[in-house]
Structure 1
Amino acid sequence: MAASVQDQRVSVPDATSATSSGEVRRIVALDGVRGLMTLFVVVSHLFAEVPGGVSALMFGWIGVDMFFVLSGYLVGKLILEKRSCENFFSVFYARRFLRTIPAYMITVLVVFGLFRLCDPAWSEAEPLFPLWSYLTFSQPAFMIATETIGAHWLAPTWTLAMEEHFYLLAPAAIVFTPRRWLPAVLACVVALAVGLRLAVFEFGFANHMVGLTLLPSRGDLLAVGILGALMATSPRVPWKMLEPWLRWTPLAALGGILVLKRLGGSAFDVFGPLTMAIGCVSYLLALVRGAPEAKTMESRFLRFFGNNSYCIYLSHLPVLGLMHGLILHARPGLGSPAQWAVTLMAAPVCVLVGVGMTKLIEEPLTRWGRSWKWSESRRAARPSFAASQA
């Protein structure tokens, strides 16, 4: 979810053009996708996933799944394009750290400070995991142990923890795996994720939080995104034949989701993420290839939310909870006109706080991170097995 919109690069000549500095311009439609998914999550959290909420607006999970696929695509594509740079690892981690960590750490520290000041009757701080668990991205372990999401204002941080675990593992996995083997490796990741969810949700192997909050159990979303990046960077993909299918597959995936929900039981929990991943990556590739839908995603409104998505995502629940607590002395809900009024007031405040954090924290540090330039020197290629036997 935290993959930088400034890392949106693509090698398709009809979708991008090189800048004078040799960088490749990002595809603005992907900013719009990020913005739309941010709206899905925020609307769901403010108006659906609260007491008295509107169940028809409970589509935040779609945004979360798309964020994972988009991260897999963008980060995977960046790694594939820059993997041969001599300074790849230092530049990748410097940029990624400055892009994601400071805003996250500040949010966690501020929220913990608010927990000390606010009335526990409405701050939703219980159960409160140790501060160090959030600072080390190990809160999913406590979520599994307690079978809860923890302090509600920090509930979305499990997705960020999963992203950081992905950032730690994906670069080395992609760099040191021969490209021809990557599809098979990613297929194994997909199979592992589906198998783990089957064990959890169908056979009770572990509690449900294992199937929701751990990287291995959601890895298919990220792996399918990387598979999309492999396709986007391959000169051998028959795009003319595939492009019509890319536009229809998301609709087919939506139909599959409806069928899985209709089946009930564990069908959706087990196979829903993979079905979503296939639909999402097809949609992203269609946009990358210049499908007509890209024009809608290029709207200034959606791109605004896309460019401010990370900090809005970080801060919207603390803002909502704080406003309900200070004004109504109660937790967020929509059971009365007063609660509706406070939530409607909170919505623009959430955006303003997120934009402020973006301008003051995220953007300056992202620019600093981009001062780490990719080296023109290339890492020495590893000798092949055949050559080593010669």
Structure 2
Amino acid sequence: MGFGHPGRALLARIGQFLLLAQVLLTAQAHPFYNHSIAYTGEDNHSNNLVERASASEFTALSRNTKMLVHDSCTKRMNLQAWQTVLDALTVVAQHGQQTASVTYQIIDHYISTDNPTLNDDNRRMMDLFMTLYGSFKWDDVSAKNVARARAQRLSEIATIFANGLAKNTMHWRWMCDSKEWVVDPNNANAWMIKNMDLSPRGKKETSNICLMPANSNGVQRLAAAFVLDAPRDVANSQPDWITFCDGAWSELKYQMHQYLNQASVTKLHTEQSWIQSVIYNTWERLLAHELFHGKAAFGAYAGIDYQYGWNDIVQLAKDSNAETDVNEHKPLKNNDSFSYWLNGVYLTYCNFSNGQCKPISQPTTGNP
């Protein structure tokens, strides 16, 4: 049984979402080393109330009116460009919402079938799902029940993400200059937005809010962006805060729809391009990662940074596959797992089962 392609109807809409010239460049491979981080702020809010520094410093976007953009961001791109970025992200998110639903339907439909025959498109979806969220044997009903629960949870997450963008329910404050964050004069271990006494607080762990704490090897890296959640603002809404660090602007060069033309299809197939080289410098990759941190939107489902990058998130799926409780399954909470899955399934001509873009008509390896 074949399930309908989840994204064909959406592709016709892509043409209207062309980004302004400052973020449109020719695609190229990029090594990933700058990672995004999230400061949840759960234990370091010194105030339960958050207010804007000044109404003049934040401006609502034209369609996503609950997305308030700081003046530091409009110095980078104008408001229409920011809205265009979110419009394009919405298309990718809606495609992911449909794909997650189809993935669940496939597993559910074949829950009692030992060796189903999947069409190429369904196999593409299932292969990436198994790679990032745990493999299973089709003749193992118990394992399929676990996989079905994972697919259902992924579908719930993808729906929250897509609807939050499309239905204008996500509350965010966007900032584009880390220098807006200073050490709290009343708490040397906390960051706050300058001139905002009622600012959200982020735990101060390094000398720069965009500098990540040292890893197990003693290496510190610069973040592309960070997210901080805040309990409430003066409108009694629950915004999340995202700040783009200086390093982000060397990464945010492309958009996923640029890979939909025939030249890109041929190039990615011929070179069997690695997924991280394709998606890493896109807005959709970074924003899917960062917005999934948002507790205002995702609540208990909000993401956690367990692992970064393709190799490590694939290993995370393998290491976590024995976990049967979806609430404890780390890949479902891992931000990079969600971002790689969302952007990977969007490129419907690629089977990324092993991380490389292979034509979907070719047999795949690495999964049952």
TM-score by length of 2: 0.29
When you count strand as a share of all residues, which structure comes out higher? 2
Select the structure with the greater relative contact order (CA < 8 A; seq sep ≥ 6). 1
Judging by fraction of residues, say which structure has more helix: 1
